[in-house]
Structure 1
Amino acid sequence: MKSCRIHIMGASGSGVTSLGRALADSLAIPHHDTDDYFWRPTIPPFREMREAAERLKLMGEMFLPRAGWVLSGSLNGWGDTLVPDFDLVVFLVTPREIRLQRLRAREATLFGTDALAPGGWRHQQTEEFIEWASGYEEGNAGRNLAKHQAWLAALPCPVLRLDGSRPLPELVAEVHRAIGGQANPT
């Protein structure tokens, strides 16, 4: 493979960002996450969405022209123009219980356990987010397994499906095997 442009996707909490960072580090290429383009930087985070055209413009300025990069996160219909840029798509499937544990831990890290506790300023939003994420397999609104499966089936590039509950070094090694261990970090 002359270049290494990899998109990693899956349900919230499946481990796409963790795998994206680890894989990019192992290949010595940049890692980018769709959340960094989808959301405007706010304190607290995840309050203001960017328009799709602005997201794509930023991505084009930040990394798309490079031969090597890893992009983690969902493009969920707004980023279909990026599909021709992918050399490989990695789809992580992780059991719901593990995903929800990871999401609760991530929310606690981001906002603090007091904020998530009943009566805390972030409690209601977190519970709504967890409820939404728990419906991924059944077809919740927005991002869900059926939409992801249909999107994956139409891709022109190879798709590697991995169990996101496996240890991170194993997942990185599996992607390395899929790409032949080659990268062009220019």
Structure 2
Amino acid sequence: MSKVVIFGNSGSGKSTLAKQLALHDDLAHLDLDTIAWKPTTPPERLPITESSTLLYDFLITHNNWVIEGCYADLLALVIEQADEIIFLNLPVSSCIKNAKARPWEPHKYESKAAQDANLAMLVNWISQYADRADTFSKVAHEKLYHDFKGKKRMHFSNK
């Protein structure tokens, strides 16, 4: 396994799994959150052209990688280069539980308090997964999974 794409709802365990694979298989790790947003409050998406440039820069720099995120639009740009995809298709209740137990993510938040202040919004966001029809939705992730012709796995729990 040298090029892996992991996707699913917020709180599904994408970052945790990606970190484990990166460490175990010596893969470069890209969390798409780091290239998808402007550093503004409230958050605003970068134009897809800017995010895609950053994504391609990562691909040029690394031969072996794991890329994870919930952005079907960005994942579509790289998925055909993957050796394997992993869809973390957990129940919404599990994603909410994971989000509430999530350790501080210093690459996303200036403090644990700032992260916790965002928790209610995140839980609401997670709960809308099956109802949305956007790039972050279950339907968009199911399409990515269905259309991919290579090696793929779907997990319904973090076990």
TM-score normalised by L of structure 1: 0.70
1:32 to 30, 33, 42: 30
Shift of the alpha carbon at 1:107? 8.1
Mapping for residues 29-68 of structure 1, pairs under 5 Å: 29-41=27-39, 47-64=43-60, 66-68=62-64
Secondary structure at the counterpart of residue 63 of structure 1: helix
Task: Write the letter of the residue equivalent to 2:98.
Answer: R
Unpaired runs of 5+ residues, structure 2, are none
Structure 1 residue 127, shift from structure 2 partner = 2.3
Check if 1:160 corresponds to 2:158: no
* TM-score, scaled relative to structure 2: 0.81
Q: 1:108 to 1:68 in 2, by over 3 A?
A: closer
CA separation in 1, counterparts of 2:115 and 2:83? 41
How many residues are treated as equivalent by the alignment? Answer: 154
Distance in 1 (CA, whole Å) between partners of 2:158 and 2:70 is 19
Mapped to 2, the partners of 1:115 and 1:89 lie a distance apart of 28
Mapping of 1:56-135 within 5 angstroms? Answer: 56-64=52-60, 66-106=62-102, 110=109, 111-113=111-113, 116=116, 122=117, 126-135=119-128
Instruction: Give the 4+ runs in structure 1 shifted more than 6 A.
Output: none
What residue is the counterpart of 1:23 in the other structure? 21
What letter matches 1:102 in structure 2? N
- What are the superposed Cα offsets for residues 116-149 of structure 1, whole Å, 9 maximum, x if unpaired? 5xxxxx3xx542331121122x322422222211
- Identical pairs, percent: 21
**Structure 2 counterpart SS, 1:94:** coil
